């Protein structure tokens, strides 16, 4: 890739300053609406199954968008680093000179590799929660053994592909191995992306400091506070849904009465807070990234 890539980014951000964050907001609003629909359809098995499948689809799309956003940012920062010199120092991943020379197709292939484990994880869960809906469409009752084999197959593919995706992501020095590993797992990616974003923000800060003296360095607040809030709300959102999942697995059906309604309502409220806090934290880093690209 050449300097033309950064010029193309400038033109894109002139009309769409939030970039993929805009699509991320839409996806997460749909996730909240689907959670509301889930509460409405708690007692209706087919509608509940369809809602859960749609919700898993939105979670998968959110995972893809987050990984795509991170890969594009790291690649573009590598291009900027080639112009102003390498950004060295602790506190985050340094720009990778290899990434800067990659074409758009190579970035896309890397993102696809990173998304493969999460795709099979979502597929496994989709087969588990979507069995009633599949029975309606296939017009036949799926046996537990066939469904179990399919879920185990998708789960095994998820485990096998994790190291493959981890190696791909490590090529671009996205962040610490632990957090890049977590970023490959849907739902956990919402927690891990903030640790990766801190490293990306550190790169942006160092590149700002290495600019020529004629270019003023813009001082902005760190994203640590919104990231910390998002991490806390992530745990608050996961706990109620984990309770529902445990009850569902032990009883073999969706929890009824207060055992299903209370955790679901609490999970909906916490998830709404998570969506707001998480998106605000990512948007903070993205704004700094866009400002740097515009001044390159």
**Tens digits of residue pLDDT in 243-294:** 877 777 677 666 666 666 777 788 888 888 888 888 888 888 888 888 877 7
**Tens digits of residue pLDDT in 59-70:** 999 999 999 988
**Tens digits of residue pLDDT in 5-50:** 667 776 767 767 677 788 888 999 999 898 888 878 766 778 888 8
- Strand locations in the chain, DSSP E? none
Question: Cα-atom radius of gyration of the chain, to the nearest Å?
Answer: 21
User: Any idea what the Cα angle at residue 102 is, between residues 92 and 97, rounded to 5°?
Assistant: 40
On whether residue 248 sits in a domain, the answer given is no
User: Any idea what the Cα angle at residue 234 is, between residues 231 and 237, rounded to 5°?
Assistant: 155
**Tens digits of residue pLDDT in 87-141:** 444 344 444 545 555 667 788 888 999 999 999 999 998 888 777 777 666 666 6
On whether residue 235 sits in a domain, the answer given is no
> Looking at residue 83, what is its pLDDT?
65
Closest-CA residue to 293 (of 84, 23, 62): 84
Which structural domain, as residue segments, surrounds residue 156? 3-218
On whether residue 186 sits in a domain, the answer given is yes
How far apart CA 27 and CA 65 sit, in angstroms, is: 9
On whether residue 53 sits in a domain, the answer given is yes
Mean confidence (pLDDT) of the chain: 79
> Looking at residue 6, what is its pLDDT?
67
DSSP-derived 3-state class of residue 259: helix
On whether residue 244 sits in a domain, the answer given is no
* Total domains, the chain: 1
| Contact indicator for 113, 164 with CB cutoff of 8 Å | yes
On whether residue 247 sits in a domain, the answer given is no
pLDDT greater than 70 at residue 217: no
Is the CA virtual torsion 231, 237, 242, 245 positive or negative?
negative
On whether residue 228 sits in a domain, the answer given is no
On whether residue 265 sits in a domain, the answer given is no
Give, as one character, the DSSP assignment of residue 91.
Answer: S
For tokens 């515009």, name the residue: 294
User: Any idea what the Cα angle at residue 52 is, between residues 49 and 53, rounded to 5°?
Assistant: 90
Supply the pTM of this predicted model. Answer: 0.82
- CB environment 59-78: b (16+ within 10 A), e (fewer): bbbbbbbbbbbbbbbbbbbb
Closest-CA residue to 175 (of 196, 147, 156, 202): 196
How far apart CA 268 and CA 270 sit, in angstroms, is: 6
């Amino acid at each position: 890739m050449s300097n033309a890539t950064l010029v193309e980014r400038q033109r894109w951000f002139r009309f769409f300053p939030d970039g993929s964050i805009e699509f991320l907001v839409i996806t997460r609003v749909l996730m909240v609406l689907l959670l509301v629909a889930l509460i409405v359809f708690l007692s209706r098995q087919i509608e509940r199954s369809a809602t859960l499948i749609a919700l898993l689809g939105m979670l998968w799309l959110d995972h893809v968008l987050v990984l795509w956003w991170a890969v594009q940012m790291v690649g573009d920062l590598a291009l900027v680093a080639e112009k102003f010199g390498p950004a060295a120092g602790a506190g985050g991943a340094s720009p990778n000179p290899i990434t800067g020379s990659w074409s758009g197709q190579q970035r896309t292939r890397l993102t696809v590799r990173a998304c493969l484990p999460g795709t099979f994880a979502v597929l496994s869960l989709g087969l588990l929660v979507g069995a009633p809906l599949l029975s309606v469409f296939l017009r036949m009752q799926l046996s537990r053994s066939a469904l179990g084999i399919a879920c185990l197959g998708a789960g095994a593919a998820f485990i096998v592909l994790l190291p493959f995706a981890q190696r791909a992501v490590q090529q671009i020095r996205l962040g610490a191995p632990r957090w890049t590993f977590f970023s490959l797992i849907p739902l956990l990616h919402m927690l891990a992306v903030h640790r990766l974003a801190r490293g990306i923000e550190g790169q942006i800060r160092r590149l700002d400091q290495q600019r020529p003296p004629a270019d003023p360095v813009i001082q902005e607040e760190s994203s640590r506070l919104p990231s910390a809030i998002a991490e806390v709300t992530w745990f608050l959102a996961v706990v109620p849904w984990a309770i529902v999942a445990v009850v569902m697995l032990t009883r073999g059906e969706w929890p009824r009465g207060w055992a299903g309604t209370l955790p679901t309502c609490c999970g909906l409220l916490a998830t709404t807070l998570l969506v707001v806090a998480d998106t605000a934290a990512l948007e903070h880093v993205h704004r700094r990234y866009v400002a740097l690209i515009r001044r390159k």
